Amino acid sequence: MDIKEILLNLGYSNITEDSRNYRMKPIYRDSSSNTVLSVRKDTGYFIDFSRNIRGTLQDLVRLSLKLATVEEAQKWLSNESYSSATKEVTPKPKIKQPKVFNKDCLLKLKNDHSYWMERGVTEKTIAIFGGGVIEGGKMKNRYVFPIHNYKQELIGVSGRSVLDKNPKWKHIGEKNQWKYPLQLNNKILREEKKVILVESIGDMLALWDNGIKNSMVTFGLDVSVSIISYLLRIDVDDIFIAFNNDSEKNSAGNEAAEKARSRLVKYFDTQQIHAAIPEDASDFGEMSREQILGWKRKYYQLQEQSF
């Protein structure tokens, strides 16, 4: 079990260590000490020396993510592919890690951005994300985007059919662990404290191309535990649920937005969560620049010149 990786994913930083323990500042309360929280390297058992708080790794997860129960903490560990840890665990259990792919596979991507440029995304924007068209294999005739973790390891790819055939999007990897596109906008999200949740990379590109770079892709109609834990770590102020507007076709996206809101209110105050489904089209990719900026003005209550 990689206790340090778990701590990093919880949001701990400036971690120091001695022979048996990791030392750090607690994120669940204010503290001026960078070493007051001690976590055992082998079991995850922790002690907060200032408050005399101690417990198992599950207890620390519960405190750090502001969860209601230890069971929810264990579920987070399970969803993050970490095994449970107790003080007496021996030998150290093997845990399932997300598969890491060889980056050489990205060499097969053809530097052709025409699909997205025909849909109004500028070449300058699309080139930032390191994608391209692949002409063979499981992702044949798809524009493929690489997905990286915080270590910059390749943990998956997401491909959009350039022939507009179903399924439009195809994913390889464990998408419930993806936090995309954090490799490019992590600093922006942490500074702005406002996050827009969108269903697909196409929605994200449309926003990005219009100067709105604080979105995260859910890759479907659910908000993963991985995304929720990240939003908790950065102490987000506002979450905008901007799933597709499916009211004219079916209610899937609209119902999913309400389901996502119901889930998020378990972790955040209700005033932090905003249903912000596009009204002028089914998704951001079908909206003009004026419509997208109008959407932002409505939900951000800002003037256009401040964008």
Domain extents for the chain?
3-79, 103-175, 182-306
Phi-psi region of 218 (alpha: psi -120 to 50; beta: other; left: phi over 0): alpha
CATH topology for 103-175 is DNA primase DNAg catalytic core, N-terminal domain (3.90.980)
Residue closest to 233 by CA, chosen among 82, 65, 80: 65
Mean pLDDT over each residue of the chain, to the nearest integer:
86
Q: Do domains 103-175 and 182-306 have the same CATH topology?
A: no
Residue closest to 87 by CA, chosen among 36, 137, 44, 125: 44
Residues 278 and 254 sit within 8 Å (Cβ to Cβ)? no
Predicted pLDDT at 193: 92
Q: What percent of the chain stands above pLDDT 70? A: 88
Q: Is the pLDDT of residue 91 over 60?
A: no
CATH of the structural domain 182-306, one choice from 3.40.50.300, 3.40.50.10210, 3.40.1360.10, 3.40.250.10:
3.40.1360.10
pLDDT digits (tens, 9 = 90+) for 8-46: 889 898 899 888 899 999 999 888 788 889 999 989 999
pLDDT digits (tens, 9 = 90+) for 122-159: 999 999 999 999 988 999 999 999 999 988 899 999 99
Predicted pLDDT at 171: 96
Tokens 């665990």 found at = 89
Residues 13 and 7 sit within 8 Å (Cβ to Cβ)? no
pLDDT digits (tens, 9 = 90+) for 227-242: 988 888 888 889 999 9
